Structure 1
């Protein structure tokens, strides 16, 4: 019995030493100490997707194709325009995904607001 406790004790020491040598693979982030820039947004464009799947552009009901054209116009404007995309919890992702796809392909920033 005493030899068994010696083996367990040696194994415990071995695992304690080897566990301190293992370094986890972590991502090194350089976080700025202080915010030096403020992002200035000229305007927001409100787009809403209803639970039924209807689209609203600045509180006016529009079709999906006219909404896509409006997003393309936003990307061509010289102002820093962001899209505030408001979706209801009942809205399907199939209705929201085309807006996000067009905005991403034309480089328009989208802020998602789920209610």
Structure 2
């Protein structure tokens, strides 16, 4: 019996180009992730099924679980919120407050902000997280 070996060409896959592409993608996502919102205040918002977005001039007020108040991401005391809102209201006719409150904050602390907005005639919207 004369069995001869068949010489088949070896199939090779070059992955060096794929390694370069994956490196550049990883580098891009690392850089992009450090640039997105570095000064965000971490809050656990309550959930809502019928949330709406707002397109008018808005001012954000955030209340953390430690009862720290932030007006447009700047720390502020509760008694200083009304004078600061008065400055905003003089600049814009229709002002809306977006109130972001941690879900562990007592309702009385939320009502204090709502009372300030009602006294000044400013529309207030409570921020929620979609389900």
Report the TM-score when normalising by structure 2. 0.51
Q: 1: CA distance between counterparts of 2:76 and 2:55? A: 28
Q: In structure 2, what is the equivalent of residue 76 of structure 1?
A: 90
**CA deviation map 1:10-68 (0-9, x unaligned):** xxxxxxxxxxxxxxxxxxxxxxxxxxxxx962x11010011111100011110011112
Residue pairs, 1:40-79, within 5 angstroms: 41=56, 43-79=57-93
What is the number of residues matched between the two proteins? 76
**CA deviation map 1:56-100 (0-9, x unaligned):** 001111001111212233333343211000111011212211110
Q: In structure 2, what is the equivalent of residue 7 of structure 1?
A: none
Q: Which runs of 4+ in 1 moved over 4 A?
A: none
Instruction: Decide whether aligned partners of structure 1 residues 88 and 40 sit closer, same or farther in structure 2, where only a CA change above 3 A counts.
Output: closer
Runs of at least 5 residues in structure 2 that lack an aligned partner in the other structure: 1-53
CA RMSD of aligned residues (A): 2.0
Residue of 104, 110, 114 corresponding to 1:90: 104
Q: Quick one: higher RCO (CA 8 Å, sep 6+), 1 or 2?
A: 2
1:104 matched to 2:114? The reply is no
Conservation of the 8 A alpha-carbon contact between 1:47 and 1:58 = yes
Q: Secondary structure at the match of 2:127?
A: strand
